[in-house]
Amino acid sequence: MTSDYAVLAEDLTKFYGPRRGIEGLTLGVEPGEVMGFLGPNGAGKTTTIRLLLDFLRPTRGRATVLGLDPRRDKATLHGRIGYLPGELAFPGRERAADLLRFLGDARGGVAWSRVTELAERLDLDLTRPVRAMSKGNKQKVGLVQAFMHQPALLVLDEPTSGLDPLMQQEFLAMVRDARAAGQTVFMSSHVLAEVQQVADRVAIVRDGRLAAVERVESLGRRAVRSVEIHFADPVDPGEFAGLPGVGDVTVSGPVLKCTVDGRLDPLIKAAARHEVVDLLSAEPDLEETFLSFYYHSEGAGDATRAGA
C-alpha cells in the first residue's frame, strides 16, 4: 500500500491485556470515498477509530491519516478531521449555540451561517442547554460539530444512534453532500441498510479481525436472494437442483422456489427451456450477506482475497 490513502492502517493491532480489540488490520481508505466500517458491538470498530486518532496507542502496527502520523502530528491532524465519538459527553451547562461557537473558535473560526444551516437540516434548537437534551438531540449537536468546519476527513462512530428515521435520512444526505464536496468519510455502523445507501465500500470486522472489504455493489451481488418462478406446466426439480449457486429448490406443480447465491444467469437459462409465466426475485439483503460473514467460517476467511 502507498501513502496516497486518506486513511491507511498497516497491521494495526491493539490488545487489552489478553483481550483482543483489533488485530492485524490492514486497510486503505481512498481520498473522497465513503468507507463503511461494519460490525456488531465489540467487533473492534471503536478501538480502530481511537487508534487512528491517537486516543489509544497500538500494541503493534501503524497508521497514517491524511498523510500524517496520528501521534506526531496530532494537533494539526485533529484540525482537519470532523470526529463524532460513539459516546458523547457534554459536561457543561452551555446552550448548544454557545458550545458550538466555542468549538468553532477552537478550530480557527467557523461561519455561523454554516452552523445554523446544519442545525436547520437536523431540526436542532440551538437555544437549549445541551445537558437537558435528549440523546437524539445531543447526537445532532455532535453531528453539527463534526460537519461544521467542512473537514477533509469525517470519522463517525455509530453516527445515527438516537436519531429518528427522518433525521437518519437527513444525515445520509449530509454524507452524500460531503462526498460530493470531495471529503472522505470513515463511518462505523452496525446498521447495514444505511451504509448500503451511502458507502462506496464496506470493511467488515468480526471478533477483532478484518473479515472482508467489498464494494457495496459487489456485496449485494454475492448476497443470497430468493427466487420464485411460475411456469405454464409442472417442472422437474432435478433440472434446477444442480445449477451453480442454486439451492433450497422446491417445486409445487408449476411453481419453483429456490435461493440463488451469485449470478442469476444459470437459473434463467434453465428456466428458459420452459414457458415462464412469472418470475419474482427478492432484492439481495445486505444484512443477510453481512451475517453470513459472521456465522460461516468460510465467509470470514482471507480478507486479502476479499479485496483488503
Place of cell 440523546: 135
Radius of gyration of the chain (CA): 23
CA dist 49 and 46 (Å) reads 5
Sketch out the chain's domains with CATH numbers.
7-80+151-219 (3.40.50.300), 224-283 (3.30.70)
The pLDDT of 126-150, averaged and rounded, is: 94
Distance CA 162, CA 203 (A): 23
Assign 297 a pLDDT band (cuts: 50, 70, 90): very low
Rounded Cα–Cα distance for residues 146 and 84 (Å): 6
Rounded Cα–Cα distance for residues 246 and 194 (Å): 29
Distance (Å) of CA 228 to CA 166, 177, 279? 34, 39, 6
Q: How many residues does the chain have?
A: 308
> DSSP class of residue 110?
-
Please state, for a pLDDT cut of 90, what percent of the chain lies above it. Answer: 69
Q: Residues 301-307: what's their mean pLDDT? A: 39
DSSP state of 132: G
Cα(first)–Cα(last) distance of the chain, in Å? 10
Q: How confident is the model at residue 284 (pLDDT cuts 50, 70, 90)?
A: low
Q: What type of residue is 291?
A: L
What's the rounded Cα separation, in Å, for the pair 253 and 250?
10
**pLDDT level of residue 291 (50, 70, 90 thresholds):** low
40-65 confidence digits (pLDDT tens): 788 899 999 999 999 999 999 999 99
Q: Can you give the pLDDT at residue 292?
A: 62
Report the SS3 class of residue 116: helix
Q: Transcribe 227-288 into DSSP letters.
A: EEEEESS---THHHHTSTTEEEEEEETTEEEEEEES-SHHHHHHHTTS-EEEEEEPPP-HHH
Say what the pLDDT of residue 193 is: 73
pLDDT digits (tens, 9 = 90+) for 86-122: 888 887 778 999 999 999 998 889 999 999 999 999 9
Backbone angles phi, psi at 39, to 5 degrees: 165, 155
224-273 confidence digits (pLDDT tens): 788 999 999 999 999 999 999 899 999 999 999 998 887 889 999 999 99
CA distance 160 to 137: 11
How far is Cα 232 from Cα 274, in angstroms, rounded to an integer?
8
Looking at every residue in the chain, the average pLDDT score rounds to 88
pTM: 0.77
Torsion of CA 117, 118, 123, 125, to 10 degrees: -80
